[in-house]
Amino acid sequence: MTIDGADEVDPELNLIKGGGGALLREKIVAQATRRQIIVVDDSKPSPRLGTHWPVPVEVLLFGWRSQARFLESLGAAIALRTNHDGSQFVTDSGNIISTAGSARSPTRGTWPFCWAREPASSITGCSSIWPTT
């Protein structure tokens, strides 16, 4: 059993995780567990994903610019996550995090992967995307 938290949850119990930056490792642990319990407090619910927290996308350092262009072509507004001192944030797997907010319609919700549910494995260079159910 795994007990974990989420950064944001919508009315259909879809989640945004990855605020701590361990996306790939957390997904591996979640996949290996028989039961996963997600705990959230009253600050986490939102009407739609991406309202309070941008969607984290863990990408390989090699080719991250092409991945950013690809995500932008789908309507995402991309920013690289940095540390408090302005240096590049690096995940525990040695990758970087692109945060993706919605650049298109604010009424459509968050950026495309949240409504398309496209698996990260289908996006070359992206090791983990975590809007999930």
Element (H, E) at 128: strand 126-129
CA angle 111, 6, 116 (to 5 degrees): 25
Residues annotated as catalytic (active site), given as ranges: 26
Read off the tokens for 90: 């690096």
- Asked if 30 and 133 count as a contact pair (C-beta separation under 8 A), the reply is no
Please enumerate, as own/partner, the contacts of 71-76 that have beta carbons within 8 Å and a separation of 24 or more: 71/98, 71/100, 71/111, 72/103, 74/111, 74/112, 74/113, 75/102, 75/103, 75/104, 75/111, 75/112, 76/100, 76/101, 76/102, 76/103, 76/111, 76/112, 76/113
